[in-house]
Structure 1
Amino acid sequence: MKNNTRVSNAIIRRLPRYRRYLGDLRSRGVKKISSNELSELIGYTASQIRQDLNTFGGFGQQGYGYSVDHLYAEINKILGLDREYKTVVVGVGHLGQAITNHILNYKFGFSIVGLFDVNPTIVGLAINGVKVQNSSELEDYVRNNNIDIGIICCGKDNAQEVADTLVRGGVEGIWNFAPIDLDIPERIAIENVHLSESLHTLSFLISSKEKENR
């Protein structure tokens, strides 16, 4: 595999889509596939697919195409899914519970080992077998249990404080669902999921199509 330290963000965001389609192909028993066939499935051009995969070494053979199993495994490695990530969720309201249930059902590379909230009616409850702890215990728990990822599902007023606590505890990455841009050290990886911005984008697309159809 080639050095991927300077891979563009656009390529990185296409890789999970490749993985999803390859996973579906594997479940159907497909053993090999060409870039043209992948293009028809995914919607990217065959040239784009080859270019993306060549960034990491190619993985295809002239006249054969790609081994679905091998390419799926290699993309898992590129995405860092060949290891287990210990994860905590902070903010166990409706969104936090939905995220927790999704990850626990996903069962690939991510394990939720801790849930945290400040609401006394939630603290002490168990969600899918994981007990909700008081957020005052978060930093020590993260540090003592070598937590890799902190998932922030609380409101924006508390999100920065939660992020600071996670950083002090030693997380490697933060998955942020709070509607705020967080100030964190560059050594910490962060992925922001602003649901309202995604909904606003959808609103724009609907409006644009309405104008086109007039």
Structure 2
Amino acid sequence: MWEKSMIGLQSLIKKSTPSSFAYISEKLGNAVFDKMDELACFVPGMLALGSSTYGPGEAEKYLSLAEELVWTCYNFYQSTPTKLAGENYYFRDGEDMSVGTTWNIQRPETIESLFYLWRFTGNKTYQEWGWNIFQAFENNTRIETGYVGLKDVTTGQKDNMMQSYFLSETLKYLYLLFSPSSVISLDEWVFNTEAHPLRIVTRVANEESGNPEEEYLLQVIPPHDVM
């Protein structure tokens, strides 16, 4: 399933002009559009995680693509006056990227990918990018009672809502981005799509027959037992 999905993904990768930002074009039916949502910025983290299961050659291929895509995602943030990303971006010849839907609703996907790339490469650049994004949230969305989204990342106009996933995902991945790798080690834990850590455990698949084959299981652990 992974290999087949990667073939499909790679067929949608394009480069912008003039700066050669790699992006994932959007396919609807038989039509392909030069548009990428911030939601798709989980992909670099997925690729980094997937690369860890390959030997050096294949691993480098997936990790290199992850690094290209996360650079694009980071520039979704850097390209606006508030340094916060809009909901989606269009890529037109000679224009690189331009923001489409201009709201920011505190999404975690780019931070998630920065976390995975930091864990797998040790490159402190990803921490620096994460810190810059956090500062943009602090400067543009912090209010007396918490944080809110933006109606428009080009003007800084605020909305009046803090998303639940801002705490459970966005800030969690930011915290982990600056934590030692031993904190929720990726050798022992896997995160679901809502950033809940599940412990990886093994057991003998067929204890009655004595078959030594192991199967991997996921065990839900209460949050207070993780940190």
Q: TM-score range by the shorter chain?
A: under 0.3
Higher relative contact order (CA 8 A, sep 6+): 2
Q: Which structure's residues are more often helix, by fraction?
A: 1
Determine which structure has more spread, i.e. the larger CA radius of gyration.
1
Q: Which structure's residues are more often strand, by fraction?
A: 2
The alignment's TM-score, normalised by the length of structure 2, stands at 0.26
